[in-house]
């Protein structure tokens, strides 16, 4: 969109705004992100009284679909840390997103073998985490929640009284939120978890 004369930063801010509104409307369905990109292009065309070019819109939406064609990259030391933790702990994976997309990512990365249970959640919130706790009869004081998002991981865990570790990594505006308390551990890299658990 910069090559078309639009400000890149302004376009990204509008994309976040539109995408978050579609999350509230549709949830984390696969089609949401390409749709948000196309709608962002339409917004700026309308704002600047420019004609919407169907081919350009399709190209922009295709960029959004590319996210789902790539093999996900794991954070550094993910396999090593999971190999160590699964020897001592009952591990549960709770991930957020379109079930088709998340299931494919889990298969492509080979992570499933480290977890005793895998949960693809519609929204990571207190209710969905509580359902996992209830399902497995987990004692909250003995349960650790490790994640990279304040909104989707840390705050729901803190509200439930879980032990929480935050490892900030690649979050976006939807995840922006302040921690509800200081009662958590913040680490810079995943491998550091092994020093505490």
CA-CA distance, 159 to 166, in Å (whole number)?
Answer: 14
Which of 36, 66, 96 is where one domain is finished? 66
What is the rounded (10 degree) CA torsion for 11, 151, 167, 19? -20
- Give the pLDDT score at 67: 80
Asked if the structure places residue 90 within a domain, the reply is yes
- Give the pLDDT score at 165: 97
Asked if the structure places residue 73 within a domain, the reply is no
Nearest to 160 by CA among 134, 132, 129, 183: 129
> Which tokens hold the place of 154?
């840390």
Asked if the structure places residue 71 within a domain, the reply is no
Q: Judge if 94 and 181 occupy the same domain.
A: yes
Contact, 194 vs 84, CB < 8 A?
yes
CA-CA distance, 170 to 164, in Å (whole number)?
Answer: 18
Contact, 121 vs 153, CB < 8 A?
no
Asked if the structure places residue 96 within a domain, the reply is yes
Asked if the structure places residue 118 within a domain, the reply is yes
Q: Judge if 25 and 49 occupy the same domain.
A: yes
Query: Burial level of 125, CB count in 10 A (0-12/13-18/19+)?
Result: middle
**What tens-digit pLDDT sequence spans the chain (197 residues)?**
777 777 778 888 899 889 888 887 877 788 888 899 999 999 999 888 889 989 999 999 998 888 877 777 888 899 999 999 999 999 999 998 888 888 888 888 889 999 999 999 988 899 999 999 999 999 999 999 999 999 889 999 999 999 999 998 765 665 677 999 999 999 999 999 999 88
CA-CA distance, 37 to 18, in Å (whole number)?
Answer: 8
Report the DSSP pairing between strands 117-121 and 144-147: unpaired
The count of domains in the chain is 2
Which of 25, 42, 66 is where one domain is finished? 66
- Give the pLDDT score at 194: 95
Nearest to 77 by CA among 164, 163, 195: 195
Q: Judge if 103 and 29 occupy the same domain.
A: no
Residue 166 neighbours by CB distance under 10 Å: 21
Q: Judge if 52 and 32 occupy the same domain.
A: yes
Contact, 95 vs 119, CB < 8 A?
yes
- Give the pLDDT score at 171: 59
Q: The domain that contains 110 carries what CATH number?
A: 3.40.50.1000
Residues 163-193 pLDDT 10s:
999 998 765 665 677 999 999 999 999 999 9
Placement of tokens 């551990």 in the chain: 185
Q: Judge if 87 and 158 occupy the same domain.
A: yes
Which of 32, 66, 100 is where one domain is finished? 66
C-alpha angle 67/189/108, rounded to 5°? Answer: 35
Q: Judge if 61 and 82 occupy the same domain.
A: no
173: containing domain: 78-195
Asked if the structure places residue 72 within a domain, the reply is no
Q: Judge if 155 and 95 occupy the same domain.
A: yes
Q: List Cα–Cα distances, 87 to 68, 82, 83, 103, in angstroms.
A: 32, 9, 7, 24
């Amino acid at each position: 969109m910069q090559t078309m004369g639009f400000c890149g930063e302004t376009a990204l801010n509008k994309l976040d705004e539109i995408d978050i509104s579609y999350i509230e409307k549709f949830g984390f369905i696969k089609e949401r992100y390409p749709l948000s990109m196309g709608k962002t292009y339409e917004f700026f065309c309308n704002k600047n009284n420019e004609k919407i070019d169907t081919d350009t819109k399709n190209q922009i939406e295709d960029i959004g679909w590319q996210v789902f064609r790539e093999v996900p990259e794991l954070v550094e030391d993910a396999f090593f840390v999971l190999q160590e933790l699964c020897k001592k702990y009952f591990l549960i994976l709770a991930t957020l997103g379109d079930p088709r997309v998340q299931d494919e990512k889990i298969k492509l990365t080979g992570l499933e073998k480290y977890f005793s249970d895998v949960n693809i959640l519609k929204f990571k919130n207190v209710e969905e985490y509580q359902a996992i706790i209830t399902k497995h009869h987990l004692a909250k004081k003995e349960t650790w929640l490790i994640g990279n998002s304040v909104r989707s991981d840390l705050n729901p865990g803190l509200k439930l009284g879980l032990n929480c570790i935050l490892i900030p990594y690649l979050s976006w505006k939807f995840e922006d939120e302040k921690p509800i308390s200081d009662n958590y551990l913040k680490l810079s890299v995943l491998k550091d978890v092994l020093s505490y658990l």
